[in-house]
Structure 1
Amino acid sequence: MIDFWLSAGLLLLAAVGFLLVPLLRGRKAQAEEDRTALNVSLYQERLQELEGQRQAGTLSDAQWRAGCDEAARELLADTEQASKARGTVLGRRVPIAAALLMPLLGYGLYLHWGAIDQVEQARTFAEQPRSIEEMTARLEARVQSDPESAEGWYFLGRTYMAQDRAGEAAKAFERAVGIAGRQPELLGQWAQALYFAGDKQWSEQLQALTDEALQAEPAEVTSLGLLGIAAYEEQRFQDAIGFWQRLVAVLPEQDPSRQAIESGIARARERLGEPTAPAAAGQLTVRVDLAAALKDKVQPGDSVFVFARALSGPPMPLAVKRLTVADLPAEVSLSDSDAMMPQLKLSGFERVQLVARVSRSGTATAGEWIGRSEPLASATREPQQLTIDSADGQAQ
């Protein structure tokens, strides 16, 4: 805040300087007043001198009258000049009072209408927090000063979850939903916080929240992960595998959580007595690239979904991998282990089509650009080439 007050002080000094300029001219005004008094005194002496000359007989009445008129004209001319000079100068009291009141008035107005608290808050958030507790305190201060900030409540909820304060996190996410609307990501975070706050007991509210989130966004990662955890805790291992496979299918290759989720799938398979290694059947290799004409129309962080879907069958993809534009060109493998649902595997359909979609929003079902292959057998072993080269006119 020191630089702020220094700047304010300099501005006040400049304003006070303008008000004190008339005082610097006060000496000139005083000189004009002294000159006027001297002219009056000289005028009176001139009249006495003319009167003495008339009485002595050296001046006639006409000459005496002309001399008096000439002295009066000279006095009037000097007086008018002094009046003009004094008219341009303020009194001493007004500038001094204004100079004293200006800083106090400015400070009072700033306290009433200013934004010193926002300035201080912005400075605080610009500094790197030294601990998660400090970050939590900042976020709590932010939502107190701006309770209608959905972003503030969202990040506060995430911070509470990192501190195992699930109950407080649930309230924060609920506030965010109330402000920003029922967005899938917010619903998933809210459901997850409620689940851990309720000692991992599933409820109708949790089911309703996750159903709503996945209906709006089938690839909503928090809901998929939560449903997998809940199914595993209830020993519904097949359901857990299904949810987690759908989650792995939409996560980027470099996502650090992929390994943990795949380990969870392996543990669930072990509990079911299934082999942990995926079957080799139903595997397609595809090299994905972006048409040269589109490279200046996309961004490196845009999501790229590569999937295979049945030529005759359900519209849901049979196997999915997620990349980014920055990864292209890339070679990916699609197999039964990438299935979004256990009952819909690549090896279960004879003819499939390969699709690659660029989606800036990260939504697998709709995007901006797309590439499609010709129909091919799911048992094809030769690598396939797929180029994203067309506008994505509708969800596929």
Structure 2
Amino acid sequence: MSDGGLMGVLVALTLSAGIFFVYPLGIKKVAASLFSLILAALILGAYLSWGGLAQWQTYRHQQESQQQAQQMLKSIKSPDELIRKLRAKLDDTPKSAKGWYLLGRLYNSQNKSKLSLNAFAKAHQFEPENEQYTVNYAHALWQQNNQQFSPEIVAIFNQLLSKNPNQPDALAMLAMKEYMSQEYKLAINYWQKLLKLVPPQSQEALAIHKAIAKAQGQIK
């Protein structure tokens, strides 16, 4: 099994990494806007590869890889089998950050939080500058810590914001942390920044508006 074929099968797992948390409302949403942005980036990449930045042979290779991935999907009977295949591939390429990240996504889908954390930690170790890997690692730490914020977890999210002030997962998690700490003005500040990143009339925007209102109601 080639690296390209296996990664082709697993690439769909990377399309749902962004998660918004709006704590006062008890809402945990997969951010549809982030999904759209990632999908658009993939489409743009394919267009550029075909449209001038690469040769026709590259496009043909991509098409063949997609066909191979579809054939592999038909042969895989369960997520556990996919996990076994990916683990076998990681035995050959143990420093593949992408492989460890995808394994973490698979474990997470199976509610295997400790194994998921270990896999995300490996991905973060091998590519500490990768924002997606860092977000998932920090969130896995938070889950494993009974959904409580430790200094390490807060530091990771703050580091993400220092590199990207509009990082939505960090904004959402730090807003939740401040709300839980009764630092309502700080929570509102984070949510207001997050609000600028979602479509104005979306369900996410409505949830954030309600969270802000609830926090404002707590201020004496």
Query: Which of 259, 268, 272 lines up with 2:216 in the alignment?
Result: 272
Q: Could you tell me which amino acid in structure 2 is paired with residue 186 of structure 1?
A: Y
1:254-307: CA deviation from partner (whole Å, max 9, x where unpaired): 9xxx52464144034135328xxxxxxxxxxxxxxxxxxxxxxxxxxxxxxxxx
Contact 2:161–2:167 (CA under 8 A) maintained in structure 1: yes
1:127 aligns with 2:73: yes
Contact 1:160–1:168 (CA under 8 A) maintained in structure 2: yes
Change (3 A) 1:142 1:227: farther
Change (3 A) 1:156 1:207: same
1:304-352: CA deviation from partner (whole Å, max 9, x where unpaired): xxxxxxxxxxxxxxxxxxxxxxxxxxxxxxxxxxxxxxxxxxxxxxxxx
Q: Partner of 2:128 in structure 1?
A: 181
Report the alpha carbon displacement of residue 195 of structure 1 after superposing the two structures with TM. Answer: 0.7
- Percent pairwise identity: 25
Query: Which of 195, 199, 211 lines up with 1:248 in the alignment?
Result: 195
Q: Could you tell me which amino acid in structure 2 is paired with residue 127 of structure 1?
A: L
Q: Partner of 1:204 in structure 2?
A: 151
Contact 1:184–1:212 (CA under 8 A) maintained in structure 2: no
CA distance in 2, matches of 1:165, 1:237: 33
Task: Compute the RMSD of aligned alpha carbons.
Answer: 3.2
Report the alpha carbon displacement of residue 162 of structure 1 after superposing the two structures with TM. Answer: 3.0
CA distance in 1, matches of 2:79, 2:184: 35
CA distance in 2, matches of 1:214, 1:225: 11
- Note the residue ranges of structure 2 that are not aligned, 5 or more in a row: 2-67
CA distance in 2, matches of 1:250, 1:222: 11
Q: Partner of 1:368 in structure 2?
A: none
Structure with higher strand content? 1
Report the alpha carbon displacement of residue 131 of structure 1 after superposing the two structures with TM. Answer: 4.5
Q: Give TM-score, length-normalised by structure 2.
A: 0.56
Report the alpha carbon displacement of residue 199 of structure 1 after superposing the two structures with TM. Answer: 0.6
1:111-148: CA deviation from partner (whole Å, max 9, x where unpaired): xxxxxxxxxxx779832455444443433333233212
Q: Partner of 2:27 in structure 1?
A: none
Q: Partner of 2:48 in structure 1?
A: none
After TM superposition, the structure 1 = structure 2 runs for residues 221-232 of structure 1, keeping only pairs within 5 Å, are 221-232=168-179
Change (3 A) 1:136 1:228: farther
Q: Partner of 1:147 in structure 2?
A: 94
Residue-pair matches, total: 151
Change (3 A) 1:166 1:245: farther
Q: Partner of 2:56 in structure 1?
A: none
CA distance in 2, matches of 1:125, 1:142: 18
Q: Give TM-score, length-normalised by structure 1.
A: 0.33
- Note the residue ranges of structure 1 that are not aligned, 5 or more in a row: 2-121, 275-396
Structure with higher helix content? 2
Structure with bigger RCO (C-alpha 8 Å, 6+ apart): 2
CA distance in 1, matches of 2:70, 2:86: 11
CA distance in 2, matches of 1:234, 1:125: 50
Q: Partner of 1:165 in structure 2?
A: 112
